[in-house]
Structure 1
Amino acid sequence: MDRLFIQAKPIIHRLKEAGYEAYYVGGAVRDYILKREIHDIDIATSATPMEVKSIFSSTVDVGIEHGTILVIHEGRGYEVTTFRAEARYVDFRRPESVSFIRSLKDDLRRRDFTINAMAMDEEGIIKDPFNGREAIEKRCIKTVGSATERFGEDALRLMRAIRFVSQLGFKLDSRTEEALIQQAPLLQNIAIERILLEMEKLLKGKKVKRALKIARKSKLNHYWPAIFNQDYIIDQLIEMPIEELTLMERWLLALYLEKAEEPQKQLKKWKMPTKEIKKLQRALSFLTWRMKNKWTNVQLYRAGKEIAGMVEKVVCVLQDKSPHLVTAIIYEQFAEFPITDRSQLAITGTDVLKWTQKAPGAWISQLLNQLEEEILNQRIPNEREMIRGWVKAWENPSSNKYSKH
């Protein structure tokens, strides 16, 4: 049994000693069967939230209205949720109300897919009333009960279905796929932030092309906010060797294919964090330049190791080449540079002001930019006294070999 299950065992024991049922549930059980890395342990129990709180001394009410209590054990938090049944869904995302029950089977019945509707006791015995293990063996994503009802209850499950296709390399059960095609418009009711979380997991998956094909076929992508909602983008992506690209590189490639005049606006439609938007904008600028030019030392330096690596991998994919090892080559070039960022200069802007006795201004940045180029092109060494002489010469271009232009 995985160490994370073992670490959580005392919680199961305490609940059982108090007379309640308790099981590991959800993705951890699925991943245990699949021999995938387990990240979080969730526990389901017949004990009500108040009964859970009475058993454990350290708890946090993280979602008590939905039956979830965070139990702190040896410095780690575990979500313990009461078996529950759900009333009708009113917003295609959450039930109108939940009621606490004592039946494990009825609790598992409300879950999305059979692969996620299994439980395991502390001895490793699997409870599988909806044949999730069989679905795993068949490598199949199948809803618990009616697919139309499950997607109608929570439209985010439309994204989760194809996300699992990408992550696990499974296929959709035929009835599940039929319902996904019919219910695709329901995705309009889901917050963009939630769609983005699923989209990024989908884009990170090893079978991302398979998932994108389903999104295209079902027209689910038409309800995404930007970029991937264009069929021609998906059509191109699934023909390219994108398997070795990272999440951000896949976003970058899609942005380039779209040729949007204002990529920032497109990414903002996805409610992407500002830091990531700026990074992708910068990478797109260098990618557009790189598709028409070969790297120079200066451009490589300006891009920086990370952005240059991203760009070069995407260039390979656009040229139908494998990006395997290309970042290593870029990194080797960086290793030969006398400096890899401005902080490595032997002088600072303060030194320049002191030597020139001039007022601060934009000219300092211009000078440092030119200095970096001189050092990168090995026209002067990165040594303080040599640079001091170069600065003095830069001040008087008419009387020496250095020029400001």
Structure 2
Amino acid sequence: MILKNLPAIFEPARPVLQRIEQAGFEAYFVGGCVRDTILGDHIHDIDIATSAYPSEIKAIFNRTVDTGIEHGTVMILDHGTGYETTTFRTESGYQDYRRPDHVTFVRSLAEDLKRRDFTINALALKENGEVIDLFNGLTDLKHHLIRAVGKPEERFHEDALRMMRAVRFASKLDFNIDTATEQGIKDNAPLLAKIAVERIRVEFEKMLMGQNPASGLAKFLETGLYQYCPGLDHQQAKLAALLPLSKWQLLSDAQVWSLMAWQLSLSRQGISSFLKSWKTSNDLIKAVQKRVPAIQAIRAGKVDNLIIFKTGLQGLLDANAVAKVFGWGMPEQQLREQFAQLPIKSANQLAVNGGQLIKQAGIKPGPLLGQIIYQLTESVVSGELPNQTDQLISMAQKIAKEG
């Protein structure tokens, strides 16, 4: 196959491949960028593989950086944008099911490609647009099939995360998983427990943000991978309840984890414990804790000013994206208009602050001051009190007097 019109992202990198070839070596674009080019999907970045060893790459180009020299990766800076090139290699010994014990540089493209995970990712592309397909990846792309390169068990023993990548691609590309590959996942699912949860989380999030999340989730459950993910080992029934839903369009990790928190019926503390087990950031935990009450409000048709204020516009839109999965989302424009009509949109816009209340209202610093500011804020947001300094001070004095 010859691709005549390569996406623009390849053009600045073509001189890199040309110079390597002029020096007598082979060089190719490889992996996902080739797959996505053929599928017509958006390309995020490009990967380059070469028969030249790192020392030879450094001799060809004037400006290079050793970004992963032990694995054969050198960044070339001669052409403005930095391009990482990696020497063809073979790997051996995967005692931790994550990293090779030994890497050997080779001159053979075939040897390099056969260690890759799936046939659709084992494609190489010359700078002139010629596709090199040694493992029938083009056929599998045509038939929308995810198939392991060679024996599935060997590929999954090299890196057990590849099992999660398989179900992620089933969702991302809306592809099916080859029968033998799926059986290999079922047989080796327990190996996922040896993988760092941070790596699993990335694949899980991408799975639920794909073209067909229900398809990826179905394979995630059928293969038993869920049993080796934090907090999901006894949640098969609740996760399976998501499979009939078809209106998925999650676009962020906050939306993904808000959906999970809602579906698993997690309390505020439950959200914290669950997301900590997935090693998410504290900011994400707080974001999900804000969004879940908003999901409940949308479902109940009680999206009032307080909910909108506490959740914030982005949080509200995220909550609505989750609500849409279940079929009871609101028109986005309506939510935007409700947010725009709030008397204040953040606590900083309140017409009084703690210092003013201490000086002008005679309220002493302490927990009561914080409670008064909170109550004033809610009163303004709900429309019970105008956002005017004198009236807020007067109300603060009244609250303080009443204790």
TM-score, with structure 1 as normaliser: 0.90
Structure 1 match to 2:277: 269
- 103-112 vs 386-395, greater mean Cα deviation: 386-395
Instruction: Tell me how far 1:292 sits from its aligned partner.
Output: 5.8
Q: Distance in 1 between matches of 2:15 and 2:399?
A: 76
Task: Encode CA deviations 1:190-219: one digit per residue, 9 max, x unaligned.
Answer: 111111111111111121110111111111
Q: Distance in 2 between matches of 1:301 and 1:307?
A: 10
Q: Distance in 2 between matches of 1:404 and 1:338?
A: 26
Distance change in 2, residues 1:313/1:34 (3 Å): closer
Within the alignment, does 1:280 sit opposite 2:266 as a pair? no
Task: Encode CA deviations 1:17-47: one digit per residue, 9 max, x unaligned.
Answer: 2211111111111111111111111111111
Within the alignment, does 1:24 sit opposite 2:29 as a pair? yes
Within the alignment, does 1:294 sit opposite 2:318 as a pair? no
- 281-290 vs 252-261, greater mean Cα deviation: 281-290
Structure 2 regions of 5+ residues with no counterpart?
A: 1-5
Q: Distance in 2 between matches of 1:276 and 1:237?
A: 22
Q: Distance in 2 between matches of 1:81 and 1:404?
A: 72
Distance change in 2, residues 1:37/1:229 (3 Å): farther
Taking the TM superposition and a 5 Å limit, the aligned residue runs for 1:201-350 are 201-227=206-232, 230-247=235-252, 248-261=254-267, 262-288=270-296, 294-318=302-326, 320-321=327-328, 323=329, 326-350=331-355
Distance change in 2, residues 1:377/1:199 (3 Å): closer
Residue 38 of structure 1 aligns to a residue in which SS? coil
Distance change in 2, residues 1:149/1:174 (3 Å): same
Q: Distance in 2 between matches of 1:141 and 1:312?
A: 33
Task: Encode CA deviations 1:251-276: one digit per residue, 9 max, x unaligned.
Answer: 22221222245221111111112211
Q: Does the Cα contact within 8 Å between 1:227 and 1:254 map onto a contact in 2? A: no
Distance change in 2, residues 1:393/1:236 (3 Å): closer
Aligned counterpart in structure 1 of residue 113 of structure 2, from 108, 114, 125: 108
Q: Does the Cα contact within 8 Å between 1:216 and 1:231 map onto a contact in 2? A: yes
Residue 77 of structure 2 aligns to a residue in which SS? strand
Q: Does the Cα contact within 8 Å between 2:372 and 2:399 map onto a contact in 1? A: no
Q: Distance in 2 between matches of 1:169 and 1:284?
A: 28
For 1:44, the aligned partner's letter is: A
Q: Distance in 1 between matches of 2:232 and 2:289?
A: 14
Q: Distance in 2 between matches of 1:347 and 1:75?
A: 52
Q: Distance in 1 between matches of 2:13 and 2:238?
A: 45
Within the alignment, does 1:367 sit opposite 2:372 as a pair? yes
Distance change in 2, residues 1:370/1:88 (3 Å): closer
Structure 1 regions of 5+ residues with no counterpart?
A: none
Q: Does the Cα contact within 8 Å between 1:169 and 1:207 map onto a contact in 2? A: yes
Structure 1 match to 2:145: 140
Q: Does the Cα contact within 8 Å between 1:394 and 1:404 map onto a contact in 2? A: no
For 1:331, the aligned partner's letter is: R
Task: Encode CA deviations 1:289-313: one digit per residue, 9 max, x unaligned.
Answer: 6656723222321222222333344
Within the alignment, does 1:131 sit opposite 2:136 as a pair? yes
For 2:312, the aligned partner's letter is: G
Instruction: Tell me how far 1:130 sits from its aligned partner.
Output: 1.1
Within the alignment, does 1:392 sit opposite 2:400 as a pair? no
Q: Does the Cα contact within 8 Å between 2:249 and 2:325 map onto a contact in 1? A: no
Q: Distance in 1 between matches of 2:238 and 2:399?
A: 51
Aligned counterpart in structure 2 of residue 193 of structure 1, from 198, 201, 207: 198
Distance change in 2, residues 1:270/1:396 (3 Å): closer
Residue 346 of structure 1 aligns to a residue in which SS? coil
Task: Encode CA deviations 1:38-95: one digit per residue, 9 max, x unaligned.
Answer: 1111111111011112222222222111111122244422220001112232221222
Q: Does the Cα contact within 8 Å between 2:214 and 2:246 map onto a contact in 1? A: no
Q: Distance in 2 between matches of 1:395 and 1:197?
A: 51
Aligned length: 395
Instruction: Tell me how far 1:180 sits from its aligned partner.
Output: 1.4
Q: Does the Cα contact within 8 Å between 1:228 and 1:234 map onto a contact in 2? A: no
Distance change in 2, residues 1:125/1:404 (3 Å): farther
Distance change in 2, residues 1:152/1:344 (3 Å): same
Q: Distance in 1 between matches of 2:250 and 2:14?
A: 39
Instruction: Tell me how far 1:363 sits from its aligned partner.
Output: 3.2
Task: Encode CA deviations 1:221-263: one digit per residue, 9 max, x unaligned.
Answer: 1111223762112211112345134443232222122224522
Distance change in 2, residues 1:355/1:44 (3 Å): same
Distance change in 2, residues 1:241/1:340 (3 Å): farther
Q: Does the Cα contact within 8 Å between 1:143 and 1:176 map onto a contact in 2? A: yes
For 1:391, the aligned partner's letter is: I
TM-score, with structure 2 as normaliser: 0.90
